[in-house]
Amino acid sequence: MNAKRGMVYLVGAGPGDPGLITVKGWACLHRAEVVIYDYLANESLLEAAPSQAERIYVGKKAGAHAMSQEEISRLVVEKGRSAVVVRLKGGDPFIFGRGGEEALALTEAGIPFEVVPGVTSAIAVPAYAGIPLTHRDLTSSVAFVTGHEMPGKETSAIHWDRLATAVGTLVFLMGVRNLEHITSQLMTCGRAPETPVAVIRWGTTPEQETVTGTLATIAQIAAGISPPAIIVVGEVAALRPKLNWFEGRPLFGKTILVTRTREQASEFRALLEERGARCLEFPTIEVVPPLSWEPLDRALKSIDRYHWVIFTSVNGVRFVFQRLEALGEDVRSLHGIRLGAIGPKTAAALEERGLRLDLLPSEYRAEAVIDALGEAEIRGRRFLLPRAAKAREVLPEKLVEMGGEVEVVTAYETVRPSEKAKEVRRLLREGAIHCITFTSSSTVENFIAMVGDDHLPSLLGKAIVACIGPITAETARKHGLTVEIIPDEYTIEALTAALVAHFQNP
């Protein structure tokens, strides 16, 4: 029996923004058995790999190398003999990424490989800083140069006398520590001291920082900038004030804590990141099946007993239909039963399954359901409420008060994850979080339980609190929190708009 033969994909991860990985690179990650990744490869990309895939960090940054290049090459060869390996490298593997060395090592070992080019930081980072590397009126040439040569090196591989004036735009990678040497060489070899220069740190990420000056002044202006950074020299750098689209977004520079469940956070996070925010996911709720399916299954088996089924969350919809499928049933089981939903997302989850709603109150809370139904529709009717194990009792209590028969069944439970609490406390103490968002009372309760309520207002410091609606805000206030943002409409879209308005008009 032949041993399994491996395959290595040298994949460019792009410059930092995970959205800039190529479609082919993403596909390679999906089938990886081993991922060997760098310091500059965005770690969120690792989520694309199968959960059972081995993940190995081999990052190299100034003064802190996890492995030498020789060790990395040996590791890629070793793993590539019998596994599907993705060697995930920041930027493009063949532009100052030492991908050529790793490819040669694979060739010598007889291991098949493919190169999947990435969006190089040399192009993407200036673009995110509002700097086009070429412009018809300014320059038609560009060069990528390593800035990593040491000033004391006896023989430079860079021909400064030719480079200084022969190319319109110069992009130096890994050169910020040698900035003074680079600018001095260019001016000595004939480049005008007033030539515009930009230094961009952590380009394409929410931490992007850009400083500008001239060849004569930039070394002093950028003295506090540390790696990773890119240097752009040329007249095109002067276009930044007019073309600075990325850093001009309304939430740029703001770090926002998202406390939704891991499954629900992605949509909210995408809305915030589109507007420039840096998002930290701190799920204070994890949705899990109930301890027993028996109560829900029993209700679903006799579903035709009920006049109404009212759903209060997307999770309730999801688990009810999972159980219907498990019981050999489908959407037809709800024929003739009136359906209600609290909130547009819950309504959308039902409509996606081909169901027409009989009740969607304009205000997304339990009290509005009572007002919308009216006593005539409630008295003598039987209601099924599939929901979380712990939830507000307002709706079932009011329905009973008005003559309805109510059965509340547990469709799912919410529990507290234990991750990241220590890190979040540290970031709050350091003032690194600008806003904490809560989308339900349980996210408030769990956040406080996870982070601790000792001197909580002082721990939050200048971080503002944003709540999706008045019920959530009331819970936050009960715990001594000052709520500064509540949108008029209780949706994540409205909450995002309220955050933008707050930070644009502080």
pLDDT at residue 156, as a whole number: 75
**Residues 127, 115 share a domain:** no
How many domains is the chain partitioned into structurally? 4
User: Which of 362, 386, 415 marks a domain boundary?
Assistant: 415
Place of tokens 């008029």: 488
**Residues 132, 233 share a domain:** yes
User: Which of 366, 390, 415 marks a domain boundary?
Assistant: 415
Half-sphere exposure of 279 (CA within 13 A, CB side): 24
Query: Which SS3 state, helix, strand or coil, does residue 28 take?
Result: helix
**Residues 128, 218 share a domain:** yes
Mean pLDDT on 51-80: 85
Percentage of residues of the chain with pLDDT beyond 70 = 95
pLDDT at residue 139, as a whole number: 94
**Residues 340, 262 share a domain:** no
248 is a domain residue: no
Q: With bands split at pLDDT 50, 70 and 90, how would you rate the model's confidence at 131?
A: very high
User: Which of 178, 213, 243 marks a domain boundary?
Assistant: 243
CATH number (domain holding residue 184): 3.30.950.10
**Residues 172, 214 share a domain:** yes
**Residues 185, 303 share a domain:** no
Q: Is 38 a catalytic residue?
A: yes
Q: Which of 38, 79, 92, 398 is catalytic?
A: 38
**Residues 358, 324 share a domain:** yes
Asked if pLDDT for residue 418 goes beyond 70, the answer is no
Q: Is 422 a catalytic residue?
A: no
**Residue-by-residue DSSP string for 129-193:** TT--S-BTTTBS-EEEEE----TT-SS-SS-HHHHHHH-SEEEEES-GGGHHHHHHHHHHTT--T
Overall size of the chain counted in residues: 506
pLDDT at residue 1, as a whole number: 44
CATH number (domain holding residue 365): 3.40.50.10090
CA–CA distance, 91 with 165 (Å, rounded to integer): 27
Mean pLDDT on 7-13: 97
Mean pLDDT on 174-183: 93
pLDDT at residue 61, as a whole number: 65
CA–CA distance, 429 with 444 (Å, rounded to integer): 19
Percentage of residues of the chain with pLDDT beyond 90 = 68
**Residue 242, number of CB atoms within 10 A of its CB:** 8
If one compares 377 and 2, the residue with the highest pLDDT of the two is: 377
Give CA separation, 59 vs 67, 115, 158, in Å: 7, 19, 26
490 is a domain residue: yes
pLDDT at residue 91, as a whole number: 94
Q: Which of 24, 60, 345, 420 is catalytic?
A: 60
Cβ contact 113:83 at 8 Å: no
Query: Which SS3 state, helix, strand or coil, does residue 72 take?
Result: helix
Asked if pLDDT for residue 455 goes beyond 70, the answer is yes
**Residues 421, 272 share a domain:** yes
**Residues 167, 222 share a domain:** yes
Which tens digit of pLDDT belongs to each residue from 206-238? 899 999 999 999 999 999 999 999 999 999 999
CA Rg value for the chain? 29
249 is a domain residue: no
Which range among 140-149, 251-260, 272-281, 390-399 shows the weakest confidence by mean pLDDT? 390-399
- What are the residues whose beta carbons fall under 8 Å from the beta carbon of 149, sequence distance 6 or more? 156, 157, 158, 178
Mean pLDDT on 177-187: 95
Which tens digit of pLDDT belongs to each residue from 283-307? 887 888 999 999 999 999 999 999 9
155 is a domain residue: yes
**Residue 374, number of CB atoms within 10 A of its CB:** 10
CATH number (domain holding residue 107): 3.40.1010.10
**Residues 236, 154 share a domain:** yes
If one compares 401 and 76, the residue with the highest pLDDT of the two is: 76
If one compares 503 and 414, the residue with the highest pLDDT of the two is: 503
**Residues 401, 292 share a domain:** yes
Q: Is 60 a catalytic residue?
A: yes
Q: Which of 7, 17, 92, 174 is catalytic?
A: 174
Domain span including residue 342: 288-415
CA–CA distance, 94 with 262 (Å, rounded to integer): 36
- Torsion-angle region of 380 (φ positive above 0: left; ψ -120 to 50: alpha; else: beta): left
Give CA separation, 479 vs 445, 453, 454, 470, 483, in Å: 9, 8, 11, 14, 11
Torsion on CA atoms 151, 152, 158, 161, rounded to nearest 10: 80
**Residues 372, 385 share a domain:** yes
150 is a domain residue: yes
